[in-house]
C-alpha cells in the first residue's frame, strides 16, 4: 500500500540515493533521470515517511505550545497566529492545555528531550527548563510570549503592559475618575503585576491615592469578573470606575453591575484589556487595549525557529505596540460615585 524509497528506486531503475537527491537537491540529478524518478514517484504515489526523515535528521519539526487554556479568546487568536507562521515554515504545533499547572508544563517541555519536539512556546511566565537545557549559544529552545518571563536565555515577545495599563488609567483620570477599582488576574501572573504597576504609576502621576482595598482578585474568566464586581458592590469604598485586567472579566463585571441596576458608563465606567471580538458587540461596547494577538503568535514562532536554526546569537526581546480603544463603557465620572453602603 504505502511504497517506500526502494520501490521507487527499483521502478525508476536507479539507486535510492538518486531518489533521495531528486527530492532533496534536484539540481544534482540529471534532467532525464530526474524525470524518470518523478514519474515513478507519481506512479507509485510515493510519499516519504516523515517519521523516518524526522528520526534520521534528529529534527521533529514539532513545536510544543504551552497554553494556560485554549478557552481564552485572546489565546485563541495568538494560537491562530502561531498556526500560520508554523505552517509556513513546515512546523506542526503540539498544543497543550496546561491549566496553569507547573508539573504538566515540565512534563510536556520534556518532549524535547525525547525528540518529539524541537522547541517550546510558553504563553505563561513559567520556565519549565533548567540550565542544562541551553544550547551551544546559551539559549533555551523556548520563546516566551505575552507574559514576561525573567529568563535571559530565551527570546520574549510581549507588550509593554505597564505602559498600556498606565495609558488606560490616564484615560479614566482624564474623565474625572478618582475612585478606580481594579480587577486583577491571578497573582501568579507577572502580567497582573505589570498592569498593576502601570495603574499605580498613572495614579501617582495624577496625584491620586492608591487604595489597596480597591484591588480585587480574578482569574481572567467571565465568572471571576462577575464575582469581583459583586464584591465591589458589597464593600464601602466609593467607586466610579473599574479597570479590569482583561475583557472577559470586564464583561463579567458589567453583567453584575447591570444586574444591580447601574448604568454604564453613566453610573460607573468599566475598562478591559485585549480587545477580543466580543468587546465590540457588548452593551456598551468596551473601552479596552488592543493587542496584536495574531502577531504575538507569529512573532513567537519565528523567533523560536531562528533559535532552532541557530540563527539567533542572543535572546532578543520584542515589544509589540498596544492601542487604546475608547468605546462607550467609559464616560465622565458621575457627581456621586457608586457606594452601596452610603
Partner DNA sequence: AGAAAAAATGTAACCGATAACATTTTCTGA
Partner DNA sequence: TCAGAAAATGTTATCGGTTACATTTTTTCT
Cα 273 to Cα 220, 313, 326: the distances in Å are 10, 34, 11
Nearest alpha carbon to residue 232 among 192, 266, 260, 202: 260
**Footprint on residues 30-69 left by DNA (CB under 7 A):** 30, 32-34, 46-49, 52-53, 55-58
Task: Name residue, grid cell 474623565.
Answer: 175
Residue in 15, 107, 223, 234 binding DNA, rule: CB under 7 A: 15
Binding of DNA at residue 187 (CB under 7 A)? no
Residue 32 contact partner, candidates DNA, a copy of itself, none, CB within 5 to 8 A by sort of partner: DNA
As a whole number of angstroms, the distance between CA 177 and CA 341 comes to 19
Copy the grid coordinates of residue 75.
489565546
Nearest alpha carbon to residue 284 among 241, 324, 330: 330
Phi, psi of 273 (to 5 degrees): -160, 130
Estimate the crossing angle of helix 5-12 against helix 16-24, to 10 degrees.
100
In this structure, are residues 294 and 77 in contact, taking their beta carbons and an 8 Å threshold?
yes
Copy the grid coordinates of residue 328.
462607550
Residue in 2, 150, 207, 342 binding a copy of itself, rule: CB under 8 A: 2
> At a CB cut-off of 8 Å and minimum separation 6, what does 79 contact?
65, 67, 70, 93, 95, 297
Binding of a copy of itself at residue 20 (CB under 8 A)? no
Binding of DNA at residue 102 (CB under 7 A)? no
Among the listed ranges 113-121, 138-146, 171-179, 332-340, the one in contact with a copy of itself (CB under 8 A) is: 113-121
Binding of a copy of itself at residue 116 (CB under 8 A)? yes
Among the listed ranges 153-161, 183-191, 203-211, 216-224, the one in contact with a copy of itself (CB under 8 A) is: 216-224
Binding of a copy of itself at residue 47 (CB under 8 A)? yes
Interface residues with DNA (CB under 7 A)? Answer: 2, 4-6, 13-18, 20-21, 23-24, 27-30, 32-34, 46-49, 52-53, 55-58
Interface residues with a copy of itself (CB under 8 A)? Answer: 2, 47-52, 54-55, 58, 60, 69-71, 73, 76-77, 79-80, 83-84, 87, 92-97, 110-111, 113-116, 221-223, 226, 251-252, 254-255, 258, 277-278, 280-283, 285
Amino acid at each position: 500500500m504505502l511504497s517506500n524509497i526502494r520501490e521507487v528506486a527499483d521502478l525508476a531503475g536507479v539507486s535510492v540515493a538518486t531518489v533521495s537527491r531528486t527530492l532533496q537537491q534536484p539540481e544534482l540529478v540529471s534532467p532525464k533521470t530526474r524525470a524518470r524518478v518523478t514519474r515513478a514517484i507519481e506512479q507509485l504515489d510515493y510519499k516519504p515517511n516523515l517519521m523516518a526523515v524526522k528520526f534520521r535528521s534528529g529534527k521533529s519539526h514539532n513545536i510544543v505550545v504551552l497554553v494556560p487554556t485554549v478557552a481564552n479568546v485572546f489565546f485563541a487568536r495568538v494560537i491562530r497566529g502561531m498556526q500560520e507562521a508554523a505552517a509556513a515554515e513546515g512546523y506542526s504545533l503540539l498544543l497543550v492545555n496546561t491549566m496553569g499547572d507547573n508539573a504538566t508544563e515540565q512534563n510536556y517541555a520534556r518532549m524535547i528531550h525525547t525528540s518529539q519536539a524541537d522547541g517550546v512556546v510558553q504563553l505563561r511566565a513559567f520556565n519549565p527548563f533548567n540550565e542544562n537545557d541551553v544550547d551551544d549559544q546559551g539559549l533555551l529552545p523556548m520563546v516566551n510570549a505575552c507574559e514576561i518571563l525573567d529568563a535571559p536565555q530565551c527570546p520574549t515577545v510581549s507588550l509593554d503592559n505597564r505602559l498600556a495599563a498606565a495609558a488606560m488609567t490616564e484615560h479614566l483620570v482624564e474623565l474625572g475618575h478618582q475612585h478606580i477599582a481594579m480587577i486583577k488576574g491571578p497573582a501568579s501572573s507577572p502580567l497582573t503585576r505589570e498592569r498593576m504597576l502601570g495603574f499605580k504609576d498613572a495614579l501617582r502621576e495624577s496625584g491620586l491615592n492608591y487604595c489597596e482595598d480597591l484591588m480585587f482578585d480574578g482569574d481572567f474568566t467571565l465568572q471571576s469578573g462577575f464575582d469581583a464586581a459583586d464584591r465591589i458592590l458589597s464593600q464601602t469604598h466609593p467607586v466610579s470606575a473599574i479597570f479590569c485586567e482583561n475583557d472577559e472579566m470586564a464583561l463579567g463585571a458589567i453583567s453584575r453591575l447591570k444586574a444591580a441596576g447601574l448604568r454604564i458608563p453613566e453610573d460607573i465606567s468599566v475598562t478591559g484589556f485585549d480587545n477580543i471580538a466580543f468587546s465590540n458587540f457588548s452593551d456598551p461596547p468596551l473601552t479596552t487595549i488592543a493587542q496584536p494577538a495574531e502577531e504575538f503568535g507569529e512573532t513567537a514562532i519565528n523567533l523560536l525557529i531562528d533559535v532552532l536554526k541557530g540563527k539567533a546569537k542572543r535572546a532578543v526581546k520584542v515589544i509589540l505596540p498596544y492601542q487604546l480603544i475608547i468605546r462607550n463603557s467609559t464616560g465622565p465620572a458621575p457627581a456621586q460615585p457608586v457606594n452601596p453602603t452610603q
